[in-house]
Amino acid sequence: MDKGKVYLVGAGPGDPKLITVRGLECIGRSDAIVYDRLASPRLLKHAKPGAERIYVGKLPDRHTMNQEEINRLLVDLALQGKTVTRLKGGDPTIFGRVGEEAELLQEHGVEFEIVPGISSAIAVPAYAGIPVTHRDLASSLSIITGHESPEKLDLSIHWDKVTNATGTLVFLMGVAKIGYISEQLIKHGKPPETPVALVRWGTRVEQRTLTGTLADIERKVKEADFKPPAVIVVGDVVRQREKLMWYEKKPLFGTRVLVTRARAQASELAGRIDDLGGEPVEFPVIETREPAGDEAQRRIGLALESAEDYEWLMFTSINGVDYFFRWLARLGVDIRRFHKARICAVGPATAEALASRGLRVDVLPAAYRAEGMLDAVKDAVRPGSRALLPRGDLARATLPAELRRYGVEPVEIDVYETVMADSDDSDVLELLEKGAVHVVTFTSSSTVVNLLERLRKLGVKQPAALLEGADIACIGPVTAQTAREAGLNVTVMPADATIDGLIAAIAARRAGG
């Protein structure tokens, strides 16, 4: 059997977007991912289907695997012919023990590659508004490990040389020893008033920053019960935080948002959350697909054969647009055959989906739901006319029922169906149980129903109770009504039933507005 290859990859400081392009490539091509707690679990979503995921994370009080076992694991996986990514927080060459792992791989003739990552030593201070160098304040930098006993620190650190060797000192993993570190720096010449910052879980939604001086930082750490992991910055550059703090000012900073909509559409909402400083947790509970069976195709085909007879095309979702055009292509129906039809779209996003295909919307309602569509067309529809409604199988009956009242013949075709998605549950359930999800978003009634059902299947007897600690954000009144009927307390609902409106409403809620 041919030997595999091991990529020793720096995952960056925590924000999954700070991994390198090369790092993502390695994850995507690997048969096994070996990762620790400092690497964002969101990076695992880039693994190929079937890739083995092995957690070897270390906590201050326990180790899942010791370093020797991890070294051996990498060798064993490679000797099985597997391509392996060893995913390490920050940069693997900065206190990442990559040398030990690489040495054993070399001894066994296993090919390896070291992929640098963005070190927490520079990224975490940057996210706290602290540049580690500054033309007027610090032109040099020292990176020092603080994760040792005082005796070991004294053996590994020459305090008399380090203290004033560079303008900025960065200690990694030194929260528990902050008192001893401060004492030694003062003892060897640092003024007691030297600024200090501790940044916990930097670049993540849990980021917290504590500032002080060498003289008082130990007391402040104890008073705040400030826990590791954290990066310690010592030097005048800490004062820059007052002017340069940026990440913590974002509207959704500190907010973890559960995104339940279909995977194909989740990226837009997740991207907006990320841009505003929040952390999106994508957990699609619905999927859309073409209806199965010959009967469904026959009904769609019959409806499209009468393209010239329709005076209205009414689209109630982006999915309806997407799947409608898929069926046109599959059945060979020319869109120009609908030349008599006026087009009504439920909202601007649906109108944009049509515009991207060269179709302008004639009617756009003020309220983005079925009732709004009826209000918008009621004076324009003609009794005896026909309207084609390309929709999903779970669409409400309101629109076709009301069209009949106006003498319009609605022709409904289920161009897609909505089913429960199959995705990894473990991380999301753990976050919910810890109360670490701050907002749960619902963009349709089916996302409400399916999320609660998924939680029941995971053994949660009262799923609505599990969500009590989070804000429940619904895109519109119909979705909100479904949520309330399911026992959820809806706290966020935008005036406009759009993704932009939903994001703005969430930001206002988190700001206390």
Q: State the SS3 of 187-225.
A: HCCCCCCCEEEEEECCCCCCCEEEEEECCCHHHHHHHHC
Active site residue 36: yes
Under a CB-based contact definition with an 8 Å cutoff, are residues 43 and 19 in contact?
A: yes
Q: Which of 160, 139, 109, 120 is nearest to 10 (CA)?
A: 120
Based on the number of CB atoms within 10 Å of its own CB, is 344 exposed (0-12), middle (13-18) or buried (19 or more)?
buried
The one catalytic residue in 31, 173, 373, 493 is: 173
Contact 449, 466 (CB under 8 A): no
| C-alpha span between 262 and 323 (Å, rounded) | 14
3-state class (DSSP) for residue 158? coil
Encoded tokens for 323: 């799947």
SS3 (DSSP) at 308 = helix
The dihedral region occupied by 435, where left means phi > 0, alpha psi between -120 and 50, and beta the remainder, is left
If phi > 0 it is left, if psi is from -120 to 50 it is alpha, else beta; for residue 259 that is: beta
Active-site residue among 36, 91, 274, 471?
36
Tell me the sheet residues that pair with 171: 144, 232
Known catalytic membership, residue 250: no
Active site residue 500: no
Place of tokens 């076709």: 400
Choosing from 58, 220, 250, 340, which is the catalytic residue? 58
Query: Which residues are identified as catalytic?
Result: 36, 58, 173
